Structure 1
Amino acid sequence: MINKTVNPSWRAALAAFLLLASWILKAELSHEEALHLRQAGTVLPFEHILTFALNRYPGALLLESELERKKGIYVYKLELLTSSGIVRELKINAGNSELIKDELDD
């Protein structure tokens, strides 16, 4: 007969693992999480990232922005409407403002 009881310390360890795994797999961050990361100096101010993007596309308008965690790094995802009417999607490293991707948005 199999013993179906689980040691309480294993339950706690499993719960902690599942909580950590859900945090790691979560892509988009909340406003509160973004503020905490900014205050901790983990990510650059959004204004810095937006200035970088608008210098790349002068006259563009910001349509959407998100802060995500991908492959262990924080990434700002921006959608811009350029002055020529084209929508671009930019992915920018939130820690150092390095451009990761710049492509037409579909």
Structure 2
Amino acid sequence: MKSFLPFPSARATGRLALALVAFCSVTMARDLDQDEALRLRQQGVILPLEQVLQNALDRYPGAKLLEAELEEKHGVYMYEVELLTTEGVVRELDLDAATGRLLKDKED
């Protein structure tokens, strides 16, 4: 008679852990350092942060910049910008770093 344990085998657990690591590495954004950002800018791959940031600030006149970072997700470079609006609301905007196009705008 075969007994069934309520827990998966070590092999199954290992496979699940490996699959989760692979999945997370694919879906997570990668932060780029300043040297990589400079190289991409010099190569014309991305727009200057100042140009893209101005587009974000134009959406929320009077807003203050809280944070800006360059990320790569699914092969797309994007600036993630956090703004504090004049109403006291924090907005998180994702902007395509190559075109400046707004990808996401949400309350944070």
Q: TM bucket by the smaller chain? A: 0.7 to 0.9
Instruction: Return the TM-score normalized by structure 1.
Output: 0.74
Aligned to 2:100: 97
Instruction: Return the TM-score normalized by structure 2.
Output: 0.73
Change (3 A) 1:104 1:72: same
Structure 1: give runs of 5+ residues left out of the alignment. Answer: 1-21
Structure 2: give runs of 5+ residues left out of the alignment. Answer: 1-24
Aligned to 1:79: 82
Residue 60 (structure 1) shift:
0.4
C-alpha separation between the residues in 2 aligned to 1:26 and 1:76?
11
C-alpha separation between the residues in 2 aligned to 1:103 and 1:71?
20
User: In structure 1, which of residues 26, 34, 39 is the aligned counterpart of residue 37 of structure 2?
Assistant: 34
How many residue pairs get matched?
Answer: 82
Aligned to 1:59: 62
Change (3 A) 1:91 1:85: same
